[in-house]
Structure 1
């Protein structure tokens, strides 16, 4: 429970930070003089919610009774559903066939690359730990 609460706070704060950085980027690089307060609040809350579930859902990988494929499937389904519900609902992704398909394919590609990266990292770490245990 302590880990869940800590990750919740970190995720919400990180999401809020990203919302502010994106707002500053829109103002500075987008040559926008005024912002809609409604859009700012909607996007900020969406970003904070995304930060929350992206920081909390890796807890699936700490459930030792599940196999890796089960952990990955649960994580993927949870993250995908929540992200695309928010993205389409808020308007981050326009609800058009080509844009939606391109967004889904990009999401899958990025998810796969990040998953492979973490898998290879933890496999390397476990190999190092096993070598150290064999030298004892």
Structure 2
């Protein structure tokens, strides 16, 4: 169990740093040449906290007594319920209806694309294992 928790921590922090660097690069390419140290640290810490929460939320899919629909909906609610308020608070998403609506829509589309791809991946993996057992 400790190994899995350490893996979740490493994965969450790693993904947060990759996304942080990606968005910093996008900002730089679009003319943002400097960032205040305090702002940068705040954004990086926030991104890492979100990365950890997102990573630990995957434990939801280990609740075998729950249906895949229930797991997916709870996971989605936890992620969006964590990301959206944090993104508004930190200033990544303006606290207005339009940007919030776009954020929720984008988050939902991206979430379900990833969910669909992962579902196909695991379905194929299970089929392959079942085929090997025959």
1:113 has 2:113 as partner: yes
Classify 1:17/1:121 alpha carbon distance in 2 versus 1 (closer, same or farther; 3 Å). closer
Quote the Cα distance in structure 2 between the aligned partners of 1:118 and 1:60: 15
Q: What's 1:74 paired with? A: 74
Which structure is larger by alpha-carbon Rg, 1 or 2? 1
Q: What's 1:63 paired with? A: 63
Quote the Cα distance in structure 2 between the aligned partners of 1:56 and 1:39: 26
How big is the alpha-carbon RMSD for the aligned residues of Structure 1 and Structure 2? 1.7
Q: What's 1:16 paired with? A: 17
Distance apart, 1:79 and its partner CA: 0.6
Q: Could you list the per-position Cα deviations for residues 32-81 of structure 1 after superposition, in whole angstroms to 9, with x for gaps in the alignment?
A: 34322221111111111121122221121122222211211221111110
Aligned length: 133
Classify 1:106/1:24 alpha carbon distance in 2 versus 1 (closer, same or farther; 3 Å). closer
What 5-or-longer segments of structure 1 have no aligned partner? none
Q: Runs of 4 or more off by more than 4 Å in structure 1?
A: none
Quote the Cα distance in structure 2 between the aligned partners of 1:108 and 1:25: 22
Quote the Cα distance in structure 2 between the aligned partners of 1:79 and 1:126: 26
TM, length-normalised to structure 2: 0.87
Quote the Cα distance in structure 2 between the aligned partners of 1:13 and 1:127: 31
Quote the Cα distance in structure 2 between the aligned partners of 1:110 and 1:66: 23
Quote the Cα distance in structure 2 between the aligned partners of 1:14 and 1:110: 15
Distance apart, 1:24 and its partner CA: 4.2
Classify 1:120/1:24 alpha carbon distance in 2 versus 1 (closer, same or farther; 3 Å). closer
